Amino acid sequence: MAALAAGCAPENSLQSRYGKDTPYFIGLRELQQGNTDAARRYFKECIKSASPLFARRAQEELAATGSVEERIKNYEALYKSYADEDSLELLCKELFDNGEYARLLAYTDGIDIASCGNTTAYYRCQAMYKKNDSRFAETYYRWCMSRPFEVEQYRMYCDAETSPEAVIFRALVFTRNYGAAFARLIKILEGNPSFSVQFLSDAGKTMLYGSKNYAENAALFSSLAERVPEEGKFFVYFYSARTYERAENKNAEAQACFLKAIAQAEQTNEPEKYDNALWYYLNNVLKVSPQEAILQVERYRNRWYEPDYFDDFLETLSVKLLAQHAWQDFYRTSTLIDGYASPEICAKYCYVAGRLVEEGFLKPGGMTTKEASETLLSQAFLSSGTNLYYKLLAATRLGIPDEDLRQSISLLRRDESFVEDEEASRLIAGYADFGFPERIYGEWQRSGALISMESAEKAATFLRDCADVSEQYYTQSLRIASKKLNASEKELSEQLLRLSFPQDFSADVQKYTDKYGLSEHLLYALIRTESYFDPQVVSSAGATGLTQLMGLTAGDIAAKFKLDSYELTDSSTNIMFGSYYLGELIRRLDGAQLLAVFAYNGGITRVRSWVKNANQEFRTTGLPSDLFLETVPFTETRDYGRKVVAAAAMYGMLYYDMSAEDVIREIMGLSLEAASSK
């Protein structure tokens, strides 16, 4: 870490730049070097004279040093200064860790166990339990029944010698032991339980997952509607609907319950619940009839709250309409959702509709083919939101000059409502200037949405420069830059774009792309999409490392290389394996890079089957690859393809003097016929 101490700026300029806040950073440096007494002096100086955020961070650092009594005294002073949830939680932890249960209870006597911080509530209940406090049983029960059951409640449940039946039930649901939870739920319902909203939510999940007697379960649960308080009726209707969905010949009942849940959420003015119930209802209708789903979109398009919540529903509707050759319905949907769906999904529908016109599948009335396609593609270019894929493809089809395209990208998503937290910006920039990379990401998680582009750039640049010390800084740098890329207060800089599409691990990327005949921009795009440049990441399916290789695939590659041992978390090994595998897929698919990308995600056998089916559906022998992408039956693979293509185009423009059109034609320009017949 000594190499990082200088940070981003010369030492002699930092005092003048940070002024009265400088002692905070000097204190951190003294602490890092083991000079605790000196650090405490600087922190005390900072508390007296620094800017409010710096003073608070200094007081937090001071509280964590010294003897037990000194720490407790300082955490008490911190709480006295700020009297908020964060300072109370820190104080409770210190008191609990040191067995000061009575003092902890005194500080938390005035809190509402149903609405305070969950960690604070945990410490209070634990302190009551340790002290055999007579209030424990009632407090514990109320805490567990009045709010979402999380890891803190489960830890308390495991420690407590006995728990009420309803708490045991919620613990079983938390651990997804729905079979045991179902048996307990039936016994609970035989009595006269109090129906809290949280209990009803868990009861609904248990009816859905705890038994396969779906019709019987749904009927039983829906019968509770008259017994529960008004605020709990939504969950009764919602989970009754979802349970009826799984029963044979009960879809009418399911839809009726979904509509009741929607109406209930509307009546109680709960937008999240409203959108959730509406999403399930629309998907239920879609399973029956895409055309009926379009009618429901027309009915509800101006009544949903968060447009992007419905992106995946509209994505699935798109695939079904294309499979049905319902070209006119597709076009109608693109006009219905304009201004109501998210910018990203509107761009998708406009782009695909424009391409259907270009290819002769769709013939909208009142315009020539050229007029209709250009109108739709222009809408896709202008309304793409943060989705680079459709903006880039539309620009290619329209022949938009790269200079204009770059300008459009630089204005990708301006946040006109942005109000900077100047102290947070200065603090994060200060961590970079004074050389504390380990503190940047945590602070950014607390207030990153409020920092300026300049501070985001400085932090991301510094973290990337520190990645030779710890590779985790590659990913942290990318996350900070990408977040600002998607919500910036002004025109995006070239530096921020490059930080959002970095050339990390460049030596290995260059080495193995040369060896296996790949484009660097394609491999960078794949790594960015797969792992966000995190060498240690392991997916839920077991894919590992930068190029997210599965164990079986990696084993086959290792056998070809005659390697007895290897580590997929080693960046060089992972890039070598991933480059080889992608190159092999491209070769086996006759040079079709987009199909190879799909095969990397979904498997080569599936891709060949998808190509054959798509060509049959469109009655062609060479469906253009951009339209083929829209027919891929796996949502994950479609989205994966879009991300890789868009990222590759950005890498090509930023580093390799290529136009977006050059990259897109390279990756997507081949006919599908040869690949499908191989």
Classify each residue of 429-441 as buried b or exposed e, where b means 16 or more C-beta atoms within 10 Å of its C-beta. Answer: bbbbbbbbbbbbb
356's tokens: 């259907």
Token pair 């405490």 is at which residue?
A: 40
530 has catalytic annotation: yes
The CA angle 368-373-379, to the nearest 5 degrees, is 130
Distance of alpha carbon 535 from the chain centroid: 19
DSSP at 34: T
Nearest one of 311, 375, 396 to 624, comparing CA atoms: 396
As a whole number of angstroms, the distance between CA 658 and CA 648 comes to 10
Nearest one of 249, 248, 244 to 260, comparing CA atoms: 244
**353 backbone φψ class: left, alpha, beta (φ>0; ψ -120 to 50):** alpha
Please, are residues 355 and 626 in contact by the beta-carbon 8 Å criterion?
yes
As a whole number of angstroms, the distance between CA 200 and CA 402 comes to 56
Please, are residues 18 and 57 in contact by the beta-carbon 8 Å criterion?
no
Beta carbons within 8 Å of 61's beta carbon, 6+ residues apart: 24, 27, 28, 31, 39, 43
Exactly one of 530, 630, 661, 666 is catalytic; name it.
Answer: 530
- Provide the Cα torsion 221, 223, 227, 230; round to 10°: 80
Token pair 């660097």 is at which residue?
A: 520
Nearest one of 412, 555, 402 to 483, comparing CA atoms: 412
As a whole number of angstroms, the distance between CA 305 and CA 477 comes to 33
Nearest one of 442, 472, 448, 474 to 461, comparing CA atoms: 474
Please, are residues 167 and 157 in contact by the beta-carbon 8 Å criterion?
yes
**593 backbone φψ class: left, alpha, beta (φ>0; ψ -120 to 50):** alpha
Active-site annotation, residues:
530
